[in-house]
Amino acid sequence: MKTFTTQSMQEIFSWLHAQKSAHISFEVLNPDLVQNAYAGKLFTCKEKEYIYRGYKAWSDLAEILFCKMLTPRIASECTVIISYEKLNLEQTFHKKEPSNKEEKYGTDSEFFKIYKHEEPAFLHPYLQALDAVKIRNKKRILNLGINRGDEFEIILHHIGEEAFLEKEFIGIDYSKSAIESAKKRFDSFHVSLHVKDINTLDELELKRSDLIISIGTLQSPSINFKPFFMHLVQNYLRKDAAIILGFPNSRWIDGEMIYGAKAPNYSYSEQSLLYNDVIFCKKYLQQHKFRVTLTGKQYLFLTATKINL
């Protein structure tokens, strides 16, 4: 078993990069022995020196190496065994281009196995955004790229059934199977769901809404993001309306949400396109008298509320 005592993180990196096996284990100082310390602190246990790092550092390292971290095991009075399992990089919906593009995110897709509201890194900033737009005061809520309706379900649990019933919800998605699944879920609520390409949204002749939510959808290659976004702001919002946009800054691989958006032509995470789109929306909304905040990490949330002059 490889043991790391006072080796630097850079040395550990080199060793890990050289490992070819799908399962990697190594022994390090038990982080629970050290209190109030940052990574890098020297700590002596049983007359032996170690460099301290917390579990967050070991878990971050697993993510950086595209690995899953397994439950650490106690090895001695001073040490634990950290184990990583390499992710199958092919096990991801990002790579799969089905013959029917409308069903890329449908009930039979890899994407449908994801319940992102079970990831705190998604749930927390989304709930914050709902509070920031004062969800309880919004009557009519439009969601573009609703899929099976997880974002509405979170609202339902957040505000309770009684308040949810007082509102009108509209969901749009071009995946027929996802919309059918959402319909079953919201059978007894005021939720109207449409199988529709967002590019032809105008054909539905929808009334303006108090809140527009769109998560992981508007940057899709099928949508001309900037013109569509401007059209949305001009034609789909009521006077005091708000917007919540979620921009994924992560990829879903083999059961894990891995930090960092992927851009075409880069083998690693490159985020220029993401920030370009986010800043475009922020500036455009500010010009139209919205107060805009950006929160989140693996999902960036742009939340815009009208400034009442």
Residue sitting closest to ligand SAM (CB): 145
Q: Are 255 and 305 in contact (CB under 8 A)?
A: no
CB of 89 to ligand SAM, least distance (A): 19
Nearer CB in complex with ligand SAM: 24/211: 211
Which residues are within 8 A (CB) of 294 and not within 5 positions of it... i.e. 6 or more apart? Answer: 278, 282, 300, 301, 302, 303
Pairing mode, if any, of strands 290-295 and 299-306?
Answer: antiparallel
Q: Are 248 and 220 in contact (CB under 8 A)?
A: no
How far the first Cα of the chain sits from its last, in Å, is: 66
**298 in contact with ligand SAM (CB under 6 A):** no
- Binding test (CB under 6 A) with ligand SAM, winner from 12, 132, 135, 198: 198
Q: Are 103 and 109 in contact (CB under 8 A)?
A: yes
Tokens describing residue 237: 């919002």
Which helix (H) or strand (E) is 73 found in, with range?
A: strand 73-74
Over the window 216 to 255, marking each residue x when it contacts ligand SAM by CB under 6 A and - when it does not, the resulting string is xx--x-xx--------------------------------
CB of 230 to ligand SAM, least distance (A): 17
CB of 101 to ligand SAM, least distance (A): 8
Nearer CB in complex with ligand SAM: 24/156: 156
CB of 108 to ligand SAM, least distance (A): 13
Q: How far is CA 230 from the centre of its chain?
A: 24
Q: Are 295 and 282 in contact (CB under 8 A)?
A: no
Longest dimension (CA), the chain: 75
What is the C-alpha to C-alpha distance for residues 121 and 89, in angstroms, rounded to an integer?
21
CB of 126 to ligand SAM, least distance (A): 10
Question: At 156, is the secondary structure helix, strand, or coil?
Answer: helix
Nearer CB in complex with ligand SAM: 199/293: 199
Over the window 95 to 134, marking each residue x when it contacts ligand SAM by CB under 6 A and - when it does not, the resulting string is ----------x----------x------------------
What is the C-alpha to C-alpha distance for residues 101 and 9, in angstroms, rounded to an integer?
43
Q: Kindly state the number of chain residues that form the binding site for ligand SAM, as judged by CB under 6 A.
A: 20
Nearer CB in complex with ligand SAM: 175/298: 175
What is the C-alpha to C-alpha distance for residues 43 and 36, in angstroms, rounded to an integer?
12
Nearer CB in complex with ligand SAM: 173/277: 173
Nearer CB in complex with ligand SAM: 78/154: 154
**72 in contact with ligand SAM (CB under 6 A):** no
Over the window 135 to 174, marking each residue x when it contacts ligand SAM by CB under 6 A and - when it does not, the resulting string is ----------x-x--xx--------------------xxx
Phi and psi at 83, nearest 5°, equal: -125, 135
**Sites of contact with ligand SAM (CB under 6 A):** 105, 116, 145, 147, 150-151, 172-175, 178, 197-199, 215-217, 220, 222-223
